[in-house]
Amino acid sequence: MRNTMLIFALLAIVTLIGCDNGPRPIIQTPKGQVTFSLNLTARNRGISDISKVQIIGTIGNSEKYNEPFVYTGQANLTCQIPVGNGYIFTVNLRDNTNKVLFTGKSSATNVTTEQNASVVMTLEPPTTDVDVGGVIHEPVILPIVSIAAKSFTEGNTTNTVKIPVTLNKAGTSVVTVKYTTSDVTTTAGTDYTAATGTLTFPAGTTSQDISVSIKGDTTVEGNETFKITLTEPAGATLGAASAIITLTNDDVAPPALPIISIADASFSEGDNDNEVTVNVTLDKTTTKDVTVYCDFADITAKEWTDYYSWASYLTIAAGTTSQKITITIEGNIISESNKTFKITLNNPTNATIGRAEATMTITNDDTKPLTFSVTSCPNIGEFTNLIGQCYGLNPTDYHVIVYIQVNNWWIKPYTGWPLTTIGGNGVWNCDVTTGGVDSTATKFVAFLVPATYTSPPLSLGGAYPQDAADHAVLTITIDRTQTITLPITVTQ
């Protein structure tokens, strides 16, 4: 008796040797491996005549494949076989005339997991039985390599972060996979250093890290992202092949600076120079002094005529919220329109500008008609001045002429002296005691005349010049021998 052992190793996804049937159908089930040990006890015939092996597989009594191949004495033959419920396979051994010498079917009906399977084969013509024993193994499944999204705090300096790449199970051999980075909202070279390379997983390991250099900064910005992509795995299959890496901003904006502003204001003009103030304000206190440059510009008012101030820096002390600009308004007695100028804030430190420009209005408060008055008159024998005031006129457009009567003679207090001028506030002031006997004058006469008029000379005249009286706009006569009630006022 001749004992022969034939081993069939059926491995997944391997090209069959010498298939002599048509194309195999596609089987949408896992592939497994079956190893057969055939103990042939035939004594007289058939054993040496085996030239073909045919394996037929069915699932649920539906034939799925027919795998014939030529047997040339090799110890191992390969074939594709599915794994699934209700699976039964048949093995036929044929001679070179394609005659079935031995045949048998497996007794297994569920081969989804590793288990023993056996086939009982019968000789044709029957002389002795052939026992076929087999072990069905689970499919050989490669580990899956994956990468997951990660977030890292950006930091203020360059730092290195590690992004893990994992296998779902350890491989029985070395696993490699390539990786590369790419921008999403980041900029390589500015936010991080681009990286590319190959990760190697020694057999039995399940995790390796990709190192990426992050370029931290102190800029307040949104979170930024880049992507890592895995490619070309060896010894594994790809699972999650890419992941988004987020660089989380950790820079906090400094507290907002206070806002510095100036508002419109208006001031009554008055008759004399007067100081007014304008507030420059902050919307909140700060721990530092705030400075700002204040500049002035005319609109309808004229600097040094209607107002005056100096462009300069203003300081608002730490812990306070306002400071004043001081301006001098040049009052007058002229009935005129309101006038305006503006103040502009520039170049702040430790603050930002809110309202930078404001209009200042000088409001006219002169509503009197043309008025000429004496407000102070010395008594006979006193050496004080004759003083008066005008309203409703431009002082530069008028002058005052004063004559005095001493011992029945009219003289001018200042022989050859210019006309008495009127101040910007309308006040005029005349020294009527320039000579030794002037203090004894009994009468004064004051003429309000146009500034273009020049009074004629007068020295010891029996009367004041009529020409002066004719040119006078308003006239006041004072008899010091009589009771005087001040002020003495005349209007046009």
Q: Do 411 and 375 share a structural domain?
A: yes
Say if 174 falls within a structural domain: yes
Across-strand partners of 152? 247
Q: Give the three-state DSSP class for 314.
A: strand
Nearest-angstrom CA–CA distance, 390 and 400: 10
Type of residue found at 265: A
Which of 206, 222, 248 lies at the terminal end of a domain, its last residue? 248
Nearest-angstrom CA–CA distance, 75 and 8: 8
The pLDDT, as a whole number, for residue 336 is: 81
- Joined tokens for residue 151: 């977030």
- Going from the C-alpha of 462 to that of each of 408, 446, 456, 469, the distances in angstroms are 7, 17, 14, 15
Which residue in the block uniquely carries the two structure tokens 């170049």?
347
Give the CATH number of the domain where residue 220 resides. 2.60.40.2030
The pLDDT, as a whole number, for residue 435 is: 73
Neighbours of 18 (CB within 10 A): 12
Say if 254 falls within a structural domain: no
Q: Do 379 and 359 share a structural domain?
A: no
Which of 248, 270, 303 lies at the terminal end of a domain, its last residue? 248
Q: How confident is the model over 301-351, as pLDDT tens digits?
A: 999 889 988 878 999 999 999 999 999 998 877 778 899 999 999 999 999
Nearest-angstrom CA–CA distance, 255 and 289: 15
**What phi, psi does 210 have (nearest 5°)?**
-100, 125
Say if 253 falls within a structural domain: no
Q: Do 481 and 425 share a structural domain?
A: yes
Q: Do 241 and 292 share a structural domain?
A: no
Which residue in the block uniquely carries the two structure tokens 């005087």?
484
Across-strand partners of 188? 192
Residues of the chain with pLDDT under 70: 1-96, 100-140, 413-418, 458-461
Does the bond joining 143 to the residue before it have cis omega, within 30 degrees of 0? no
Say if 54 falls within a structural domain: yes
Q: Which of 390, 301, 290 is nearest to 338 (CA)?
A: 301
Across-strand partners of 353? 260
Question: The domain containing residue 317 runs over which residues?
Answer: 259-363
Which residue in the block uniquely carries the two structure tokens 């085996």?
50
Does the bond joining 348 to the residue before it have cis omega, within 30 degrees of 0? no
Instruction: Tell me how many domains the chain contains.
Output: 4
Nearest-angstrom CA–CA distance, 237 and 148: 16
Which residue in the block uniquely carries the two structure tokens 């056996």?
118
Q: Do 337 and 304 share a structural domain?
A: yes
Say if 150 falls within a structural domain: yes
For residues 348 and 255, the answer to whether their CB atoms sit within 8 Å is no
Q: Do 13 and 76 share a structural domain?
A: yes
For residues 293 and 351, the answer to whether their CB atoms sit within 8 Å is no
Q: Do 272 and 226 share a structural domain?
A: no
Q: Do 318 and 235 share a structural domain?
A: no
Are β-strands 76-77 and 4-10 bridged in parallel, bridged antiparallel, or unpaired?
A: parallel
Give the CATH number of the domain where residue 90 resides. 2.60.40
Q: Do 211 and 127 share a structural domain?
A: no
Q: Do 73 and 130 share a structural domain?
A: yes
CA angle 267, 268, 269 (to 5 degrees): 110
Say if 457 falls within a structural domain: yes
Q: Give the three-state DSSP class for 120.
A: strand
Q: Do 220 and 165 share a structural domain?
A: yes
Nearest-angstrom CA–CA distance, 457 and 470: 15
Which of 199, 217, 248 lies at the terminal end of a domain, its last residue? 248
The pLDDT, as a whole number, for residue 36 is: 46
Q: Do 227 and 192 share a structural domain?
A: yes
Which residue in the block uniquely carries the two structure tokens 């001040």?
486
Say if 194 falls within a structural domain: yes
Nearest-angstrom CA–CA distance, 54 and 81: 12
Say if 441 falls within a structural domain: yes
Q: What are the start-end ranges of the H helices in 110-176?
A: none
